[in-house]
């Protein structure tokens, strides 16, 4: 993925069907292979280690924090296959498409285990990982896996520093000593194919937007309208400038779901002109990579939606030339 500033070029990715009623290994294989055949640049997985039946935490990624109905997560997302294992499976049945995490809830995961998992997937896939990370929003998930919730932002800052140092070292021995991690001198292998693996920071809070500009190789946004994206992207750019970084070098990724709240209705029902216009608005808002959720009413309809979107919408939107890994 190239630097995604305020340009006319935009690539497309799709959300993997790793969760919900159509999630199963064979459909994942077919869906990922079809996405690659249709020319999508990336496929993206999501991360939930625990899906509580009751959630008191407010969902913060919409225009305003919102309460979650009882069983509102599990009833939609179950079964939810583990993200890194899913990407490893998808890597084995594709050869070009990038493998993204949108996003890995990094503070809930052991940093050294995650470092080895992601480096392994990257090495085995020929350098195709795009590592999106975020602090998470469900306190119930943190308590369930025994992770403190209140300092997760500062812990993730250190996790990012550790991952970059470990994945990028050229030395035969690596060690790291921080506030939360005390890594003894160790062999740093396995080494990823990419040096470095792109780390995209997600989130919409003031701290998250600042973190994206300060530490991220880019910002990855949850589903939102183009106009909201443009305003938040400006704040990421301002953060990058404050920290002496080049905003134009940051990747800018956004998601667009099929739900009416986000304007991308079922591809089979929406007109091509409507979708092309919406995609153009995302491009004008500065989105460099747009992840679309094209799951429809059945596995067959979902596969068909991939081809229709690629032929009727993506093909009419200016994009860079397709590349291999």
Say what percent of the chain tops pLDDT 90: 77
> What is the pLDDT confidence band of residue 312, given thresholds at 50, 70 and 90?
confident
Task: Report the pLDDT averaged over residues 91-119.
Answer: 98
pLDDT of amino acid 62? 86
Residue 220 or residue 301, greater confidence: 220
State how beta strands 129-134 and 199-202 pair.
parallel
pLDDT of amino acid 260? 36
Task: Report the pLDDT averaged over residues 29-47.
Answer: 97
Alpha-carbon gap, residue 216 to 4, rounded angstroms = 13
CB 17 within 8 A of CB 294: no
- Collapsed DSSP state (helix, strand, coil) of residue 195: coil
Alpha-carbon gap, residue 31 to 29, rounded angstroms = 6
Q: Catalogue all structural domains in the chain, each as residue range(s) with its CATH number.
A: 11-316 (3.20.20.30)
- Is the pLDDT reported for residue 3 higher than 60? no
Is residue 321 packed enough to be buried (19+ CB in 10 Å), middle (13-18) or exposed (0-12)?
exposed
Say what percent of the chain tops pLDDT 70: 90
> What is the pLDDT confidence band of residue 21, given thresholds at 50, 70 and 90?
confident
61-65, 93-97, 245-249, 313-317: least confidently modelled range:
313-317
**What is the 3-class SS of 19-47, one letter each residue?**
ECCCCCHHHHHHHHHHHHHCCCCEEEECC
Average pLDDT, the chain: 90
23-32, 56-65, 215-224, 233-242: least confidently modelled range:
56-65
Is it true that the peptide bond before 196 is cis, omega within 30 degrees of 0? yes
**In 110-245, which ranges are E strands?**
129-134, 174-177, 182-186, 199-202, 218-223
> What is the pLDDT confidence band of residue 151, given thresholds at 50, 70 and 90?
very high
CB 96 within 8 A of CB 38: no
Cβ-based neighbour number of residue 268 at 10 Å: 11
- Is the pLDDT reported for residue 322 higher than 70? no
Tens digits of residue pLDDT in 232-279: 999 999 999 999 999 999 999 999 874 333 344 444 455 678 888 888
């Amino acid at each position: 993925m190239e630097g995604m500033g305020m340009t006319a070029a935009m690539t497309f990715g799709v959300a993997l069907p790793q969760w919900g009623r159509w999630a199963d290994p064979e459909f994942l294989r077919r869906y990922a292979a079809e996405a690659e055949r249709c020319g999508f640049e990336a496929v993206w997985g999501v991360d939930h280690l625990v899906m509580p039946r009751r959630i008191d935490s407010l969902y913060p990624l919409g225009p305003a924090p919102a309460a979650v109905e009882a069983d509102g997560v599990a009833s939609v997302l179950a079964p939810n296959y583990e993200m890194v294992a899913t990407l490893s499976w998808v890597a084995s049945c594709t050869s070009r498409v990038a493998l993204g995490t949108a996003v890995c809830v990094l503070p809930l995961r052991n940093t050294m285990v995650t470092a080895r998992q992601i480096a392994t997937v990257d090495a085995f896939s020929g350098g195709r990982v795009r590592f999106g990370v975020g602090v998470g929003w469900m306190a119930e998930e943190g308590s369930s896996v025994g992770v403190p919730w209140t300092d997760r932002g500062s812990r993730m800052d250190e996790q990012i520093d550790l991952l970059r140092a470990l994945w990028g070292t050229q030395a035969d021995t690596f060690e790291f000593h921080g506030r939360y991690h005390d890594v003894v001198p160790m062999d740093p292998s396995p080494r990823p194919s990419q040096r470095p693996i792109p780390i995209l920071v997600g989130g919409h809070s003031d701290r998250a937007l600042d973190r994206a500009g300060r530490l991220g190789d880019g910002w990855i946004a949850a589903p939102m309208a183009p106009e909201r994206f443009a305003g938040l992207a400006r704040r990421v750019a301002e953060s990058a400038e404050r920290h002496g970084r080049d905003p134009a070098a940051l990747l800018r990724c956004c998601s667009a779901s099929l739900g009416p709240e986000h304007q991308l209705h079922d591809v089979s029902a929406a007109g091509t002109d409507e979708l092309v216009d919406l995609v153009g608005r995302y491009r004008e808002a500065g989105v460099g990579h747009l992840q679309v959720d094209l799951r429809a009413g059945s596995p067959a309809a979902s596969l068909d939606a991939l081809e229709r979107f690629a032929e009727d919408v993506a093909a009419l939107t200016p994009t860079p030339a397709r590349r291999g890994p």
